[in-house]
Every structure is written in C-alpha cells, then in structure tokens.
C-alpha cells in the first residue's frame, strides 16, 4: 500500500485507512466502485460559487461596479448642479453689488450738487445719448458737487468737479463707463475739461438720467439754460445681463 501511495500520491476521499479491503483495492489501484482511479479526472462543481469558496465571483464584482458607478454618477450630478446654482447666485450678487455701488455713487454726487451763478466754475450739465437699435440710453453727466474727500491737512475744498460718461470699446463690442474727477477748480480751466479720468466698469449696458424741476421731467439739463439746478434726478441703470435698477433722488441745494 505504501508503494502504491507513493507511486500515485492519490487517495480517494471516501476511503478509510482501517479498511483492509479498501486498502487492498487501493494497492490494486482501484476505487471503491471497482474502477481504476488512475484514470479519474476531477470535475469542479457547476455552481458559480461553492459554500466553502473564498472571495467574489465575476458576476458579483460586475454588479458591485455597476452599483458604484450609479452612486458616483448621482453624487457628481448633485455636486455639479449645486456648483452651477452657486455660480449663478454669485453672478447675481456681484451684479447687484455693482449696481448698488454705482447708483449710490451717482446719487451721492447728484444730491450734493452745487451751483452758484456768481462762480463760473460751478455748473450742472446732463446730456442725452441714445442707441436706437438697442433702445438703450448711455447719458453723460458733469457737475460740481460737495463730495470731495479731502486728505488730512489738504488745502482742497469740499467742492470739486465730477463726471460720468461712456466710451466705445476698442473692439466695438460695447461701451465702458468712465468717471472724471477734477479737484482744483479754476477759471483758467473751462468746465468739463482737465482732471483725471478712469474706467469704472464695462458691465453696464446703459444709463438713463432724467431731470425734474418739480413739474415735468426732461431728458437733459443745463444750468446755463435753465438758470437753476433740478429738484429731482432719476437714475436708471441697465447691466450687461439685462437687469435694470432705478432710483430717484432730490438735490439738497437746488
């Protein structure tokens, strides 16, 4: 038996070492059914996974990958939608902040407008400009106002000259809003000349200004013609995205 075992190195799982008959059959190279076990071939079970097997089957792995893909896709879609919503909200907020800042600056200058017929350097001039194709106004305004922020120990007055106006972009795709400031007023330098000009923003598509003496609204105003300041000024600002902001202010020193 030891010779047969060492020769073949195989023992049937159903045999008992205490069974002499089985041992003899083993020595003869026969299995319990009387067949030559040397010609037997092991055939695996047909189930995808046996009760005692370890790990996962290919079907389980594929199913897990499909579930994982669905979960990841859902999470990505949620984050993507949230990101777009946040981006749109930020754009709306930025546009609103820009409109509020511009309107507040214009209203502050206009409400503190100053004109004295005895001072040739003081004036108020609102000009109408219109784009008929786009039905937009891009008016300009120049005035003397008491809003100068003087530096400490500066000899400057509270009175200075400011202006708002538009210029076409270099590529012709729109207009840019500018502001002009002239701190030193002099009879040697005519109104609406000199000073420092700087770009404010290109996110404004239109600016409409209207003026009232308390009885009727007008599209233009000039203290040289009217001989006085307007009592009310209406500001209508149109952003590049189409949103419109408007307000009306009165002049404290008419």
Length of the chain: 254
Cβ-Cβ contacts under 8 Å for 155 (sequence gap 6 or more): none
d(CA 37, CA 59): 35
Compute the Cα dihedral for 191, 193, 196, 197 and give only its sign: positive
- Residue-by-residue pLDDT tens, the chain, 254 positions: 444 444 444 444 444 444 444 444 444 445 555 555 455 555 555 455 555 556 778 888 888 888 988 988 888 887 777 777 777 777 778 888 989 999 999 999 999 999 999 998 999 999 999 988 888 999 999 999 999 987 777 777 889 999 999 999 888 888 999 999 998 888 788 888 889 999 999 999 999 999 999 999 999 999 999 999 999 999 999 998 889 999 999 998 76
CB-based contact 181:195 (threshold 8 Å): yes
Which residues make Cβ contacts (< 8 Å) with residue 237, sequence separation at least 6? 99, 102, 103, 204, 206, 207, 244, 245, 246
Burial class (CB in 10 A: 0-12, 13-18, 19+), 221: buried
């Amino acid at each position: 038996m030891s010779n047969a075992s060492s020769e073949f190195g195989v023992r049937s799982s159903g045999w008992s070492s205490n069974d002499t008959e089985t041992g003899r059959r083993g020595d003869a190279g026969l299995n319990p059914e009387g067949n030559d076990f040397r010609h037997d071939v092991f055939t695996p079970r047909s189930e995808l996974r046996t009760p005692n097997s370890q790990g996962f089957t290919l079907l389980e792995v594929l199913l897990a990958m499909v579930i994982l893909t669905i979960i990841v896709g859902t999470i990505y879609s949620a984050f993507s939608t949230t990101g777009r919503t946040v981006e749109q909200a930020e754009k709306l907020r930025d546009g609103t902040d820009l409109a509020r800042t511009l309107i507040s600056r214009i209203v502050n200058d206009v409400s503190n407008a100053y004109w004295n017929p005895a001072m040739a350097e003081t004036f108020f001039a609102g000009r109408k400009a219109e784009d008929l194709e786009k039905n937009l106004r891009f008016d300009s305004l120049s005035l003397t106002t008491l809003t100068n922020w003087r530096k400490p120990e500066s000899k400057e007055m509270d009175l200075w000259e400011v202006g708002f106006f538009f210029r076409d972009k270099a590529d012709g795709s729109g207009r840019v809003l500018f502001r002009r400031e002239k701190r030193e007023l002099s009879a040697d330098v005519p109104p609406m000349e000199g000073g420092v000009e700087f770009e404010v923003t290109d996110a404004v598509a239109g600016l409409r200004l209207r003026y009232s003496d308390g009885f009727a609204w007008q599209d233009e105003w000039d203290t040289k013609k009217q001989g006085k300041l307007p009592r009310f000024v209406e500001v209508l600002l149109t952003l590049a995205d189409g949103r419109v902001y408007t307000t009306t202010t009165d002049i404290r020193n008419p």
